[in-house]
Structure 1
Amino acid sequence: MSSSNRELVIDFVSYKLSQKGYSWSQLEEEDENRTDFAAEEAEMDGVLNGSPSWHPPASHVVNGAAVHRSSLEVHEIVQAADVRQALREAGDEFELRYRRAFSDLTSQLHITPGTAYQSFEQVVNELFRDGVNWGRIVAFFSFGGALCVESVDKEMRVLVGRIVSWMTTYLTDHLDPWIQENGGWERFVDLYGNDAAAEVRKGQETFNKWLLTGATVAGVLLLGSLLSRK
């Protein structure tokens, strides 16, 4: 089964929204039918079309031709459904481990339609400042999902589609190369499938050591590195 990065992001965000009683399909329909946000969209263009601080990595070269492939293309062995399920479970475990700190994560950002992109960019850049690992990828998805939920909670539903697009772009441009070089999503399923992260937690004698209080936004997200040292 093939699946795009966008579909993976949508599945995760949809799952997180459903946990709070929200419907992705309903939000998507509202977005399609929305006709009174033209002025707001024009205002946001300046932000969205600005030059982000990250830059796409060099494309891979195959037989002399530059190409960029999604890590979830047809050639991937692992089924997309397995990836989605493993990512959902890992995200739930991440949020459970850091529940107290994570609960205040998005509220610390004071998201508005005019500041959402800058806040997203700042946090994600800080998260991957020291490199990529599977734990930080899980934290990335958890952050994006929480940001979408926060947006709906605060009656800023228009932001959900934008956040999904920002996540998809970053995943494709910056995380795919690392994913491909580290066993692909098949490796992720090996590490996190069958609720593996929860099983590890249950075997720990001092679960509370994983819980932090009063952490900064960046600090909370960097805890994702603890989920995987592999």
Structure 2
Amino acid sequence: MEFPAYLATMPMHAITEIHGEAGLRERFRLEIQRFEPADRDRLTAALDLAGELHRSDRRVREPYLNHLLRVSIRMLHHYDVHDVDVVVAGLLHDAVEDHPAELAGTTAGDADPTEAALDTLARRFGPRVARLVGAVTNPAYAPDRDRNTQYREHVASSLDREPWARVIKVSDFTDNGVGVIHTTGPKVVSSARKYRPLVPVFRELIGRADTPLSDRVKQHIFQQLDLAEERFSAILDQPAPTA
């Protein structure tokens, strides 16, 4: 497939709409040219693993891999992330949560495969990657409490002690939250309800001195959080219809 010369500057959702997964893969390839060959090999191996694990997964209208590519490209292009472990963890941030048994090579009769899946990531990509993925992996939630409340509590607690995991999670949030307008059907409202409470959480976490991003990047993220709140408000704060 032939791509336009300006693919490297196109907004990611425009690439998604026009060129699909192939376009996002090409954009990712262009973004990682800055790295040494050995690092490019690690990044490509992580993308291959993500593609295999999520090969049958969909996000409404698109392959799930598109989401993982956008999360990683955003970190590379908009957040100026040069840390290979962080980008690898971005590509694999849903692997343990969504496909732990497949990743770990366990069966349904085995014990909880989450730790085994994290061990597999540690062996293949290093313990730091496994730790970052673990920090953004949701735990099992108590059935007698509101899931969205538990999600917010988990994000705040888990990211409190992992500054680089904040970077991965806020890119994930941006794709899900700011990108909510690219979603269709009932998931629009459910996503807005899930992600809106995270806006102040991320604003505080990203503003911390130990969050490893430049002031310029932090200001960019704050603007994205403002945009997310505007979109959540448009979805959720509609006035009740009059009789």
Q: TM-score, normalised by structure 2?
A: 0.27
| Structure of greater relative contact order (alpha carbons < 8 Å, 6+ residues apart) | 1
Q: TM-score, normalised by structure 1?
A: 0.28
